[in-house]
Structure 1
């Protein structure tokens, strides 16, 4: 078998068609990879928003605990002082 003539228009057209097929396959693979990255980014954004929401809820519910602890400590000091005063 001999190599086809590089100046033959049919050989050039066939080679261009092969290149086009290779490019289409490559673009399809890149497009699929980008779609996967976008999907993962969306999932990460949703997860981050969920974590932010949960953290905000924890911060809101945390402040009464410190206040209650401070009030309990003050009450304990008052009761202790009252008991000492009664002796």
Structure 2
């Protein structure tokens, strides 16, 4: 068989090209499978991150609950101290007034 005008590709060359193409497709499939596995991991990480962000936004994280309890305890203690300071200030004021009146009677 003599080649007609143009390019003649033998069956052996065609077979070699097809085999090379099959290997290339196999390598692409392996890379795509690896990428899809990594994408699953990334998606699960993103979902976990979203859940934790939503908890932080709503003040539901463990650290925020602990801080809230600590702040409430501190506010209670501060309120108690403020009450005692104001009571002591009032008592000192009353004592000073009483001392002033007493001094009027003691000093002629």
- Give the TM-score taking structure 1 as reference length: 0.67
RMSD of equivalent CA atoms:
2.8
Q: Which residue of 2 aligns with 1:77?
A: 82
Q: Taking structure 1 as reference, are residues 20 and 77 closer, same or farther at Cα in structure 2, changes over 3 Å only?
A: same
Query: Aligned residues, how many?
Result: 81
Moved over 4 A (4+): none
Unaligned runs of 5+ in 2: 1-7, 96-108
Could you tell me how far apart the structure 1 residues matched to 2:32 and 2:64 are? 43
Whichever of the two has the greater Rg, that structure is 2
Unaligned runs of 5+ in 1: 1-6
- Give the TM-score taking structure 2 as reference length: 0.56
Correspondence 1:57 to 2:60: yes
Deviations 1:44-64 (A, max 9, x none): 111111222333313764446
Considering fraction of residues, name the structure with more helix: 1
